[in-house]
C-alpha cells in the first residue's frame, strides 16, 4: 500500500518530468506520469503540459475510475496508467517516455516484441540478478482507443517473467515500479538497452 501523500507525489512528478525532459525523452508536451497515493487515488500529470516545465499545479488527482477529483483534465492516457494499477496492486508509479530511439526501434521491429539478451543492464530490472538471461519488451500497435491498447497489452504483461515495461509502436515506452525510484530505473534501463541495440546495429 502506498504511503505517498499528494504533496509528495506532486514533487516527485515535477522532478521526474525535468529529469526525463533533460534526457530528451519528453519532447513538446509528450509523456505522462503518475503515482498511487496513500488514500487510493492517483496523482497524474494534467493534459497538455510541457513535462520539463511542470509545477505542482500541473499535477492533479483522479480516482480509480479516472474521474477528476479537482476539476482539472488528466492526461489522455490516464486509462493506461489505471489499468496497470489495477493489474499490479504493488505498482506505485507509472512513467511514459517518448525517446526517438524507442520510437525508432518500435517502427523498425516487426512482430509483437523485441528481445534483449546478455545486457548487464538487465539487472536493473526487478527480479533479475544476472546478465545471462533474455527478456522480451512487448510492442503493441498504436491506437487512440485506450481500451483497445489495454486489451492488446494485458496478455503480454501476464506472461511469466514479463518485465514492467512495454512499447507502443510509433509512440513511446511505458515503465512502472513499486515506487517512483523503481519506475525511473526501469525506464532508464530499457531506454539504455534500446540505445545500445541500435548502436550495435550501426557497427555491423
Task: Check the annotation: does 81 bind a ligand.
Answer: no
Q: What angle do CA 196, 199, 201 make, to 5 degrees?
A: 115
Task: Check the annotation: does 131 bind a ligand.
Answer: no
| Extended beta strands in 26-179, E state | 32-36, 42-45, 59-62, 93-97, 113-117, 134-140, 165-168, 172-177
CA distances from 192 to 18, 29, 47, 107, 135 (A): 18, 22, 27, 17, 14
Question: Which grid coordinates belong to 152?
Answer: 492488446
Q: List residues forming the annotated binding site for Zn(2+).
A: 96, 98
Q: List residues forming the annotated binding site.
A: 96, 98
Amino acid at each position: 500500500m502506498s504511503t505517498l501523500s499528494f504533496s509528495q507525489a506532486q514533487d516527485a512528478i515535477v522532478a521526474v518530468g525535468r529529469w526525463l525532459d533533460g534526457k530528451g525523452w519528453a519532447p513538446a508536451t509528450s509523456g505522462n506520469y503518475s503515482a498511487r497515493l496513500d488514500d487510493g487515488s492517483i496523482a497524474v500529470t494534467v493534459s497538455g503540459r510541457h513535462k520539463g516545465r511542470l509545477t505542482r499545479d500541473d499535477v492533479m488527482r483522479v480516482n480509480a475510475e479516472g474521474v477528476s477529483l479537482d476539476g482539472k483534465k488528466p492526461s489522455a492516457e490516464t486509462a493506461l496508467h489505471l489499468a496497470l494499477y489495477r493489474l499490479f496492486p504493488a505498482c506505485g508509479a507509472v512513467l511514459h517516455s517518448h525517446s526517438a530511439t524507442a520510437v525508432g526501434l518500435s517502427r523498425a521491429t516487426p512482430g509483437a516484441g523485441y528481445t534483449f539478451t546478455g545486457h548487464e543492464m538487465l539487472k536493473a530490472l526487478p527480479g533479475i540478478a544476472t546478465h545471462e538471461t533474455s527478456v522480451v519488451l512487448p510492442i503493441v500497435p498504436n491506437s487512440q482507443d485506450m481500451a483497445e491498447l489495454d486489451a492488446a497489452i494485458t496478455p503480454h504483461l501476464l506472461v511469466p517473467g514479463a518485465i514492467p515495461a512495454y512499447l507502443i509502436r510509433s509512440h513511446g515506452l511505458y515503465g512502472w515500479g513499486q515506487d517512483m525510484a523503481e519506475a525511473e530505473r526501469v525506464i532508464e534501463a530499457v531506454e539504455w538497452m534500446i540505445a545500445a541495440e541500435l548502436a550495435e546495429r550501426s557497427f555491423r
